Amino acid sequence: MMLSSINNDIKAKMKRLIEYIKDVIGLEIEIQPLTRAVTDKFPMYLAEGYQWRKMVLAGRPCILAQMKEANAYGIAQMEKHFDQIKKTTQLPVIALFDKLEAYLRKRLIEKRIAFIVPDKQLYVPEFLIDLREYGIADKKKKSVLTPVAQQLFLMYILDKENMHQLENLTFKELANLLGTNPMGITRAVENLKFHALIEVTGDKEKFIRFMTGRQQLWHNAVQQNILINPVLKRVFVDEKPQGVFMLHSYNSALPEYSDINPTRQEYYAIEKNMFYALQKSNALTNANKYEGAYCLEVWKYNPETIVNQLFSNTRVVDPLSLYLCFKETQDERIEMALEQIIEKFIW
């Protein structure tokens, strides 16, 4: 009876895991016990210390490992264990937990140890590219950061002095800070959580907690290729719109943060809703895609939000949004200027 109960519990856990992964990445997965022929190659303490299973995720086989006794091993021990199993099987190892404390999640991410907590979090850095190729989560919006999520992320990265204490603000306070509504901030939080950049704490009032330090967060986001170019499109005009405050952007802003010289063409960032309102009222002079005295960069989020909170004395867009405007550049001079931005604001 006891054995039957244990087996039913294991089956229930595996069913829950399968349903969770299908919900998150939209894929069917296969899980089966690791054969004796494989586990016999493991040292006795490893063979007995974990429940080992083989899983096929996004077409790639891997090893699923769950400690038989919760918290039997520390993170450093797990890292050594998984390295040993990977050398033996030539397969990546993913840790499975029923639940996991926030500080342990943070340590696992810092060590780049793949793990799954069903209904909570999926972190498998080795498979990120493969999963994207499968169109992870039909929810395309989750494949990159949403505009509001990116604003929140960049504000945290740039606020090195922690002036705004974002982790101590309620969702409503975060929404006010970013100039969005409660639904917008909720979606942004879910988006950041999906990409393992934050977790959510609290019961009645909820708060965000970033998973690692700022440098590692930036590294993780860049590695996942989830940061978006804030520019929706560029439109040239012969005159600047009257009565509209705009920040310098693109090549007009780069000299503010680097040694590069300014160009003749003037660039300004404008939030998309403002742009469309001007367009609707015929306030744009000779708007076109090719040339003009001024180039308006239509942004997916308000270029003034981060600047108003952190760089109030400047007339250019924030440095990291600017950096992301040049995601596809192959100009060596600009690449050197971008390196200066990273050196100054990340490292």
Q: How far is CA 152 from the centre of its chain?
A: 11
Residue 139 has pLDDT above 50, yes or no: no
Residue 42 has pLDDT above 80, yes or no: yes
- Summarised one tens digit per residue, pLDDT across range 151-188 is 999 999 999 999 999 999 999 999 999 999 888 899 99
Instruction: Report which of 99, 128, 101, 103 is spatially closest to residue 114, judged by C-alpha positions.
Output: 128
204/97: higher pLDDT: 97
Q: Is the separation of the CB atoms in 34 and 63 below 8 Å?
A: yes
pLDDT at 118: 83
Strands 50-57 and 30-33: antiparallel
58/241: higher pLDDT: 241
Tokens of 304: 């003034």
130/72: higher pLDDT: 72
Distance from C-alpha of 110 to C-alpha of 212, rounded to nearest angstrom:
7
* Rounded alpha-carbon distances, angstroms, from residue 69 to 7, 23, 96, 282: 16, 28, 12, 69
- Summarised one tens digit per residue, pLDDT across range 235-249 is 999 999 998 999 999
Tokens of 84: 């040993």
The CATH class of the 140-224 domain is mainly alpha
Distance from C-alpha of 88 to C-alpha of 63, rounded to nearest angstrom:
11
Q: Hey, where are the domains in the chain?
A: 2-132, 140-224, 231-345
- Summarised one tens digit per residue, pLDDT across range 298-322 is 999 999 999 999 998 889 999 999 9
Average pLDDT, the chain: 87
Lowest mean pLDDT among 28-37, 154-163, 173-182, 209-218: 28-37
For residue 237, list its beta bridge partners.
294
- Summarised one tens digit per residue, pLDDT across range 96-137 is 998 888 888 888 888 889 998 887 788 888 765 334 333 444
Instruction: Report which of 121, 116, 70, 127 is spatially closest to residue 94, judged by C-alpha positions.
Output: 116
Instruction: Return the exposure string of 131-163: e unless at least 16 CB atoms fall within 10 Å of the residue's CB, then b.
Output: bbeeebbeeeebbbbbbbbbbbbbbbbbbeeee
